[in-house]
């Protein structure tokens, strides 16, 4: 394995691209399922499962948001004890990915349930999560605030050529 150093510019470009891909996946998958339901293809018509899903989807929705928040806060809280910016930013990437993954699960569940039951109301859960994920987009100021960075670290973060993170790559 090789360690690749990332500048602030490349770090935020990669983080933004990953964020866009995760949000785009929800929107794209939701769009395809909506098209299939409203077109002649229709849905499998498992409307007999609707009563169970009326409880399951909202429960997973709430659990996803709560667990996303709690896990993110725990991991970011642990990163505040790190001394160097590189460790903080490398760890932040992992915390951010886990945060979005915990949100993505309930969104995909809602989309699949929409397809299975043909009930488009479940898409509201996926739509809300997609909007929340857009709100969580990686912004330097928010990251600096979440990690309690000092002025020197914030200046390094804003310098596009400063090395702020490391990535392990496979040869």
111-132: pLDDT as tens digits: 999 988 888 899 999 999 999 9
pTM over 0.85: yes
Token output for 23:
């949000």
Which residues, given as ranges, of the chain have pLDDT below 70? Answer: 41-44, 171
Burial class (CB in 10 A: 0-12, 13-18, 19+), 86: middle
* Extents of the domains making up the chain: 8-35+50-160
Please tell me whether residue 129 adopts helix, strand or coil conformation: helix
Percent of the chain predicted with pLDDT > 70: 96
């Amino acid at each position: 394995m090789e360690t690749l150093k990332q500048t602030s510019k490349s770090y935020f470009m990669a983080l933004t691209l990953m964020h866009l891909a995760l949000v785009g996946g929800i929107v794209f998958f939701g769009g395809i399922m909506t098209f299939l339901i409203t077109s002649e293809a229709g849905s499998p018509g498992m409307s007999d499962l609707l009563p169970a899903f009326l409880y399951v989807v909202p429960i997973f929705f709430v659990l996803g948001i709560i667990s996303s928040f709690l896990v993110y806060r725990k991991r970011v809280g642990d990163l505040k004890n790190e001394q160097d910016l590189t460790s903080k930013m490398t760890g932040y990437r992992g915390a951010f990915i886990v945060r979005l993954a915990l949100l993505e699960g309930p969104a995909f569940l809602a989309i699949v349930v929409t397809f299975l039951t043909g009930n488009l109301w479940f898409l509201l859960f996926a739509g809300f999560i997609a909007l929340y994920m857009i709100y969580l987009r990686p912004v330097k100021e928010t990251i600096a605030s979440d990690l309690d960075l000092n002025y020197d670290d914030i200046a390094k973060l804003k310098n596009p050529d400063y090395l702020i993170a490391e990535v392990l790559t496979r040869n």
